Structure 1
Amino acid sequence: AVAFGERVEVNGVTVGFHPAGHVLGSAQISVEMNGLRIVASGDYKRGIDPTCAPFESVPCDVFITEATFGLPVFHHPLPRVETAKLLTSIKQFPERTHLVGAYSLGKAQRVIRLLRDNGYAEPIYIHGALARLCDYYVSQGIDLGDLRPATLEKSDPSAFKGAIVVGPPSAFQERWARRFNEPLIAFASGWMMVRQRAKQGGVELPLVISDHCDWPELLETIKEISPQAVWVTHGREEALVRWCELQGIAAKPLHLVGYEDEGD
């Protein structure tokens, strides 16, 4: 493994790894040769997240950036505001089990930590698919509080009344989810800004919590790094390319084969 900030030489090319702030261990990669430095961001976010190292702006000549939410319409609310919505819902509907959909790596642990940081000290129940990753986060010093398995086979569904259950979104389309007591479906994703997506997914409580930059954060990052050229990939490339051109920055879309899947 290579540590953040460490530089290695590969066939005359200097390679470095820098925090991306996306999930625990996520890294940008810089490559440098003959005075030219290129940085590939990978997935990244700029918001504060106690479950991973924060994004590091790395000066470079060419910046390869994602653009998952690369449209001016995307302005993400503060995560603590979205977390407060969930806590308010629990108080309003104490008879219902709140099922929170969150991707197993990064998002689930972030949602759990957000709940803890907002004062929720009750046990949080997790789907089995999250157990190993949550254990790993805890082993890395990230406090997630009291986590318990959401095992229905050994419990009456009413035992989860008023509880929070976190699991991968795919699990909520299965019979597993319908066995809880009056389940209220929530989903933590930047895409929950799009109401139609929430409606189509049967999401009753959309939580706009993203592990990607919104439009203002993408612009802020490019301004900070001040590259000579920007290559845009994975998302809404055209708008960000156009903005760069208006700023006098050379830019182009970089279409990567097999990299069309949406993030959250």
Structure 2
Amino acid sequence: MKKLFGLVLFLGSAVMVAQTNQELMKHYEAYYKQMKTQGDVQGIINAMTHLNVLSPSQARKDTLGYIYMSEGKYMEALNTLGAEKKLTDSDIALEVKAVSLKAIKRPELAVGHFEELFKRDPNPVVAYELAELNLQIQNMAEADKHIEYGIANAKSEMKKAFYESQNPYEVPLKSAFMYLKALSIYNKDRKANIDPAVDVLDAVQKDAPNFQLVQITKNELLRQKQALKSQAAQPQN
């Protein structure tokens, strides 16, 4: 009899918990919709976190990670989804990990996630990220491969934004790839390849005269060239 009474209490408690969870789910689903309507990002994060605790799902975690990434909260995004490479990751999870790792200056980890994204959907936008990251880690063969892909496949309507100045600006994506090509040429021999790199930068400047980073880089390379000339002209002791 006692066992039967205990079982009834247990089942009754389970039903109450289930009902409570359902009520909470409805509450936070409504709260989530309201926060989206109001554009309250922190409210959206709070609602999604509660929903994932009440009813865990990878889709909810991916969405939460994406929101964190979109708000520039890269460590929170990585804490939500992890940084390890998984072939089972959704496209959203891969993007979150790739962009967040790049943002916190871990190019050697970010490149693997961008590579997987490129395998799933080869396109010039992801190729640019791969070219830039591989230049940073001095993997020149991989950088050149993606640079050439980008130059060949970038469409005229594709743009790349730059933020190094107070006023952000856009240039054709193909011009951005050509800029990376100049950097690649220079990095292969930082003394002998200054002129060839500057030649490429000159060509980029003709196609994208508003590309401010090109002029900055060109000025620095010419400064280095002059310094090398001055150094060579000094008498040897």
The structure that has the greater radius of gyration is 2
- Scaled to the shorter chain, the TM-score interval is under 0.3
- With CA pairs under 8 Å and 6+ residues apart, which has the higher RCO, 1 or 2? 1
| More strand per residue | 1
